[in-house]
Chains A and B, each alone.
Chain A
């Protein structure tokens, strides 16, 4: 802990304390009937308007992953890292209509989680359990990803200790976060998101205007980057895509877009909004963040031109590419502005981490605790259980960071995406059709998850890792029960996409068989009209009513 950057640390700490106070105060903000109901603690009273939802969703979807991992991937691989831009361009047009239906049916039936919907739609606690477990497991690495971002900032400011002591500041930050999330629920990240997003916009505007002019303009920056990639032996990098990674680029973007709103934390923010018009306005306005995301990604090239060297993580002894953006800011900005930038990234990690832990806690409480452990739980007991679960989830994420070595943080998001994508037929397609049989969906899930994990296991990493080294599979290695349809091809594709196709095919086949055999397909609790309900409808259930 030798070279502490004091001015940066002081500004970072002041802003961190400010949001801590906000987080605790949030409990009293727009309070409805107390926080003893999941509608209140877990969904902020289901009454957020357009602006709050915009900041909340923005803070929720554009995370530390955006600020740290995407530029890091651009820095090391080039054009491929820019997949995050088309990903966030196509996600809103794709999601607009299903999100509206999900909001309506959840509002009418009092659903809090995607698994609640699946249970109501198919009358199948097992299918709901699978969706809930998938949600929790896929969210954990996503929370860990936020910690990676926070830690990258802390280490750049000189808090780069080794061993457990090196993780201590991270632990402290997370304990504070855990306490105010426990107390205030979804209102805490909603309020803090305002601070986070305003800081981020300031930092990005300055970075994207000031840095290129200081470093010789975009043309020069791209040329320097192109030379760097030409000099490396790897054939997958470069400022343009090549023949083998274009399919990977498109399926990464498309698969990530399909996955985004299957994540429980995205749905939590959607369900917390007041009505359909709020969601529609947000799907139009959220791409403002995509612009920021794209500009941030380009900072990976700026870092190359500026000659940034990734910091060596004292805990693992390896250079950590996730530090390149913090190191760039540290070297190019005055220390007080770097402090603001670091606070923006750090708080940008806290907001989504809070929402994710709330979403995972909701899943645990509604679909595991109430379903299997305590069927007669009152709304008050549910809220209590969810608060406790949110603490456990955060502890789990911290443990993952301390125990695992995460070379490319982005792999976490892509691996989580492979899992969560497998709930698409049961959650998203079921919003439109009940054609799939519940046993078909269960069989499809088993195959999708199983096949996805097998493929991920077989992908070696760049740094000598044997397994789980990434999420791009060469088509030549694609094996369908030993048959290699694209033998020899080096064209890469996103594993999640392949697994989803397997999932859908199996679900369809089992559905046809189950229908032939007239297997009972559960009772559908929902009515067609539920999917179109809106705020102001006369017979809408009261918020916070008993489930």
Chain B
């Protein structure tokens, strides 16, 4: 392996403060926070809809980390590749 990657990043310095956001979804493991019946939403006890809400919080946290830690600046997002290109494999 070369020591300098194509984008000039030096290997080894991979920690990024944005990674700390990945801890947020772990709150869903603290059961006393949500182990209760009320308030209900659409007839669902709090216990259930709170955890469904955390699916969205999990996605959001991971997505922010993904966007903020990409190798290239966010300028050349969004991905303009078609599905076929994405799945074509590395033709280069």
Q: Which residues of A contact B (CB under 8 A)?
A: 30, 32, 45, 47-52, 79, 82, 85-86, 89-90, 92-94, 96-97, 108, 217-222, 239-241, 246, 249-250, 253-254, 274-275, 277, 280-281, 283-285, 287, 290-291, 294, 298, 527-539
Contact across chains for B55 and A539 when beta carbons are under 8 A apart: no
Which of B29, B32, B45, B90 sits near A239, CB closer than 8 Å? B45
Q: Which 7 A-B pairs have the closest CB atoms?
A: A219-B43, A218-B43, A47-B89, A49-B87, A529-B11, A93-B22, A529-B1
Q: Which residues of B contact A (CB under 8 A)?
A: 1-3, 5-6, 9, 11-12, 14, 19, 22-26, 28-32, 35-37, 40, 42-45, 47-48, 51-52, 54-55, 58-59, 61-63, 65-66, 70-71, 83, 86-90, 92
Which of A50, A90, A96, A221 sits near B87, CB closer than 8 Å? A50
| Closest chain A residue, CB of each to CB of B13 | A532
Contact across chains for A222 and B44 when beta carbons are under 8 A apart: yes
A-B contact count (CB 8 A): 149
Contact across chains for B92 and A536 when beta carbons are under 8 A apart: yes
| Closest chain A residue, CB of each to CB of B62 | A284
Report how far A218 CA is from B41 CA in the complex, Å: 9
Contact across chains for A93 and B58 when beta carbons are under 8 A apart: yes
List chain B residues, Cβ under 8 A from A534: 5, 71
What's the nearest-Cβ distance from chain A to residue B24, in Å?
Answer: 8
Which of B29, B40, B90 sits near A90, CB closer than 8 Å? B29
Contact across chains for B51 and A529 when beta carbons are under 8 A apart: no
Given pairs A32-B89, A85-B55, 9 additional interface contacts (CB within 8 A):
A49-B89, A82-B51, A219-B40, A240-B47, A241-B31, A287-B58, A536-B90, A536-B92, A539-B1
Tell whether A532 pairs with B89 under 8 Å between CB atoms, given A82-B48, A240-B47, A287-B59. no
Report how far A24 CA is from B50 CA in the complex, Å: 44
List chain B residues, Cβ under 8 A from A30: 89
Tell whether A86 pairs with B5 under 8 Å between CB atoms, given A96-B62, A246-B31, A250-B30. no
Contact across chains for B26 and A298 when beta carbons are under 8 A apart: no
Tell whether A283 pairs with B47 under 8 Å between CB atoms, given A89-B28, A246-B35. no
What's the nearest-Cβ distance from chain B to residue A530, in Å?
Answer: 6
List chain B residues, Cβ under 8 A from A48: 87, 89
List chain A residues, Cβ under 8 A from B48: 82, 294, 298
- Identify 5 residue pairs between A and B in the complex whose beta-carbon atoms are under 8 Å apart, listed by A's number: A108-B1, A221-B43, A222-B43, A287-B62, A529-B5
Tell whether A96 pairs with B45 under 8 Å between CB atoms, given A48-B87, A82-B51, A240-B37. no
Which of A284, A531, A535, A536 sits near B63, CB closer than 8 Å? A284
List chain A residues, Cβ under 8 A from B70: 277
Which of B3, B36, B47, B55 sits near A529, CB closer than 8 Å? B3
